[in-house]
A = this chain, B = another copy of it.
Amino acid sequence: MTDPDLTLLGHSENRLPASPEEAKLETFPNCRPGRKFWITLDCPEFSSLCPVTGQPDTAHIVIRYVPDESCVETKSLKFYLASFRNLPAFNEEVVNRILDDLVAAMNPQELHIEGKFGSRGGIQLTCSASHPNQ
């Protein structure tokens, strides 16, 4: 039942991609392409860098989608998210870019991204974006 496209599963050379451009979001065929169903991926360990101060920003990212022809493979997603680790990026850019990259990778029927960032200066920022645009 394994998919020949899944090159990461079961491998160990797990070098961290240097940026989201270098990372590759792999997909596998949707097991019920005619049914509208939801997949939620809860990712509490996200981290990027503040583009102003260079300090780490952390976030809890939640991805929720209705697949069309394909689903994102979770190990490649883990590598993709880890590739933001040394990227300077504003919180809003992070969330919108994950949306854009996942749309490009799997063209889902619906996709929602929420990023809940760590509190800074007594203010905690959450950003959420959706596809298709509402």
Q: Which residues of A contact B (CB under 8 A)?
A: 1-2, 6, 9-12, 14-16, 30-32, 34-45, 47, 49, 51-56, 58, 71, 74-75, 77-78, 82, 85-86, 88-90, 92-93, 95-96, 118-130, 133-134
Contacts and interface: CB of A to CB of B under 8 A. Distances in A.
Given A10-B12, A54-B14, A58-B45, A39 B1 contact: no
B122 A52 contact: no
Contacts of A90: 1, 31
Nearest to A95: B37
A87 to B, nearest CB: 10
Contact of A119 (B55, B122, B128): B122
Q: How many copies does the complex hold?
A: 10
Given A31-B93, A71-B92, A95-B37, A9 B122 contact: no
Nearest to A129: B37
Contacts of A85: 47, 56, 85
Given A51-B1, A121-B120, A36 B89 contact: no
A133 B35 contact: yes
Q: What are the 10 closest A-B residue pairs judged by CB atoms, nearest first?
A: A37-B129, A40-B126, A42-B124, A45-B58, A45-B122, A10-B12, A32-B96, A9-B52, A78-B121, A1-B51
